[in-house]
Every structure is written in C-alpha cells, then in structure tokens.
Chains A and B, each alone.
Chain A
Amino acid sequence: MNDLGPEARSLLEAARGAETPTRVDRERIKHAVALRVATVGAASMAASGAVAMTVATKVTVAALTVAVLGGGSASLWAWKAHTAAPPAALHRAASRHSASRTPPALPTRPVAEAPAVMEEPRPKPLLPEVRRREVVRGEARPGGTVSLPVAESAPSPALDSLDPELTVLRQAQEDLRAGLPAQALRRLAEYDRRFGKGTLNEERRAIGAIALCQAHPGPAAQAQAERFLRSAPQSPLAGRVRSACQKPDETAKQSNEIAPGREP
C-alpha cells in the first residue's frame, strides 16, 4: 500500500493518545449508560449477573430504575425515604428484583472454571432478540428483528429506541401527579395499543395499578395491584403500588399504629 509522507505521519502520531476523555467524562458517560440500562428494565440483567458489573454499578442501575420512572432524583429520594432502607439494602433489593424477571427455564452456561470476573451463573438475556421484537410490534423498522449474535449482526436502530415507550409512561406519571388518573389510564391504553407487552411492561403495569386505584378504588383495582405484586414482588415500584392501593382498613390500622408515637 502507498505509504504516507512524514508530515501526514506526524499529524497521525499527534492524534494517537491525544484527546482522551477526562475522568469526569468517563464517569459521566458510564452513569448515562447505567441510566439507559435502567430505562429498559435491565437492572435484573446486571443484578443477576447476566453481565458482570461492580456492586456500585448495580446499585446505580437499581436506583435509577426507580428514579427514571419516578421522574427524577426527587422521587428517588422519596422512594428511599418510604422504604427506609439503608444504602446496602438497595443492592439486596436489586438482587431480589432480578429474581422476579429472570426467566426460570433458560439454560445457564457452565461455570466450572469461574474466573474472578464471574459472580454467578449467567442465564442468556432475553433483551436482544425477544424484547426487540416486542418493541417493533406494529411498526415497520427494517432490521429490527435481526437475531444473529452480535459478531455477525449489526446493532439495529430499534435496539436503542425506547423513547416512545418511556415518553408515554412519563406522561402517564405526570397525569397521576396532576391528579388525573383517568387520563393516565387513557395513556396506558395508548401504550398497550402501540407497544403491546413492551420492554417497559412491568413499569406500565405498576403505573396502571396505581392509576386504577386512584381512579376507581375498589375490588377490581385491588385485584390488579395484587396481581402485579404477586408477579413482581421485588419490583422497585412495588412499594408505590402498595402505598397507592392500600385497603381502607389497612390504612386505618396503620394510622392507629402511628398515632401512639405522635406528639400530642
């Protein structure tokens, strides 16, 4: 091949090793990746060891799962206060949460010579093929259902396009905050129509249970909340569902328990 001249070589040499990200850049981008992982509900992958991460990263992912759907850091702190959990409990919660999402029947890879980077057996994640197909349901996105391993396949634009799902769920959350649960339910109906059992289906079900409990409190709402709590008992959103869908007698009981400790 034709060689480059000395000046061109000098320019290229200058480019090597130059313009590297600072430590702050690295942390910021890593944090952003964790945020996106959280938005696709992949906390279970990290916590269950589908992909090995440090404990700190797992905690970030688990916390962000709640923060994203809760609308930001304020709701994250509210959630932490509600559960009164110490920081270490966040990691335990993430691990427990993973159990509710990890498909039980998937084969695991052999781990006979588990090196340091492995923490536990890793089930093959569902996200790359199965969930991507769910995301593109009803929408023509060429290449969205490629199922070859990454070494032979191209990352698809559909892989990273969860914004539409997230947007609808955020709007529903805003409706709930504004005291418009009926409007939130209409948004969720739109979610079902557009995405079916989308990638954020668990979060959609949690918001749906809360909205129903606010809009039409009663046996039907209670049943929906209980179904959600049975299927995802360790979801980071379970506490909110319990809180929103408490039966009247439980609320009264709690009030009685709290009352003796109050200052007169």
Chain B
Amino acid sequence: MGSPVGNALASTASSNRACVPDFDAVYETHVDFVWRTVRRMGVRAADTDDVVQEVFFIVYRRLAEFEGRAQLKTWVFKILVHVVRHYWRTHQRKPGDRAAEDPPAIQDLVADHEHGPAAMYERVEALRVLDGLLAHLDEDKREVFVLAEIEQMTAAEIAEIIEANANTVGSRLRAARQEFEKALLRFRAHELRRQP
C-alpha cells in the first residue's frame, strides 16, 4: 500500500533510525492523498487549505521523532485523522451537515484535464454524490470507510491509525458499507422521483 516513494522513505527510515526523512519529499509524496482524504472526511472546501496545512505543520514538527516503526504514510495519516477530529470538534458543522452542497471545484480535478470537459463534469457529479452519501455516516464510520474504500488501506493499518483493534475496524467498516449502500439506494430513488 502507499506510493513507491513513500514506501521507500519509510523503509529507509526503518533500516536506519538515524535517517530523518526529508520534509520536502514527505510533503510532495503525501500532499495529494492528504488533500483528497481531508475533503472526503467532510472538511469544507473553504477549510481544506487550513486543515492540510495543519497536518503538514505537525508533520514538520514531529518528523525528527519519526523512527520508522510505522510506514511513513500511516504515520502521516494518523496525524491527519487527529487533525480532522479536532476540526470536527471545533466546527459546529459535523460531517453529516455537509451533504452535497460543497462540490469540488473543476480546477481541482486535475486527473481529468486530459479527458475533456465531459469527463471532468462526470467526476464532479460523482464526487458530489459520493460526498452526499458519506455525509450520512457518522465520524467513526466515515473515517474507516474513507481509509478502506478510497485509500484502500488494510484493516491492520486502519487499526493503527485510529488506535482501535482490528475487530472494531471490521465492524465499523461493515456497518459503514451497509449505511452507504442504503444511502445510495435512497439517493437513486429520490433521483427517479425527480425525473418527469
């Protein structure tokens, strides 16, 4: 799991505790998934910069302490989860309040620039629907669901990140999947009723 560069950094760190990973490399390697995950975790578009910045500020300050016991990506994710939880606590709007009113900006969908505007709009719509469905999950389930289904992390990795045991991760993921599917069914039914 994780990008080759991130894994290389992590393995370098584990093979040589004296090695403190280079901040710039850590930033460049992880900023995309931190950004993406922050958005899927329910942080508003207007707050994304601040939250991503907070994650990397803590990464910067703690990087010298990274001893390679975990993968670098897992370590960064752990910080991310704590920052997002803090965001939820300090903002009146919870993930469930976000619904689908905060769609991604077109210019953020860089992955589809080469496929033309139609593909970009399809992605925008898909993300809008996805965020609307994720908004139905509570914080605990949403965390696990995003890490497992979007970032494709293993149960063991997620357990380490959220500081829970693997059984808890498994039960939350099962419940999250069921709720997600139900929300999708409701969404489609609603869409059908709206059609003339």
Contacts and interface: CB of A to CB of B under 8 A. Distances in A.
Nearest to B146: A15
B180 A8 contact: yes
Given A118-B18, A128-B61, A155-B79, A22 B107 contact: yes
A226 B143 CA distance: 54
Given A4-B149, A113-B18, A28 B49 contact: yes
A52 B130 contact: no
Nearest to B126: A14
Interface stretch (A87-95, A104-112, A247-255): A104-112
A26 interface: yes
B35 A20 contact: yes
Interface residues of B, number: 69
Contacts, number: 186
A22 B62 CA distance: 26
B21 interface: yes
B177 A117 contact: no
Interface centre among A7, A45, A54, A151 (most CB of B within 10 A): A151
A42 interface: yes
A19 B61 contact: no
A256 interface: no
Interface SS of chain A: loop
A14 B65 contact: no
A19 B78 contact: no
Nearest to B31: A26
B65 A15 contact: no
Contacts of A19: 35-36, 39, 104, 108-109, 123, 127
A150 B75 contact: yes
Interface of A: 1-5, 7-8, 10-12, 14-22, 25-26, 28-30, 32-33, 36-37, 40, 42, 45-46, 50-54, 57, 109-115, 117-118, 122, 124-125, 127-128, 149-151, 154-155, 157, 159-160
Top 3 nearest A-B pairs (CB, nearest first) are A14-B126, A117-B22, A150-B62
22 contacts: A1-B174, A2-B177, A11-B130, A12-B130, A16-B152, A19-B36, A25-B49, A29-B53, A33-B53, A33-B56, A42-B60, A42-B61, A45-B61, A57-B23, A114-B19, A117-B12, A117-B22, A117-B25, A127-B61, A150-B62, A155-B79, A159-B61
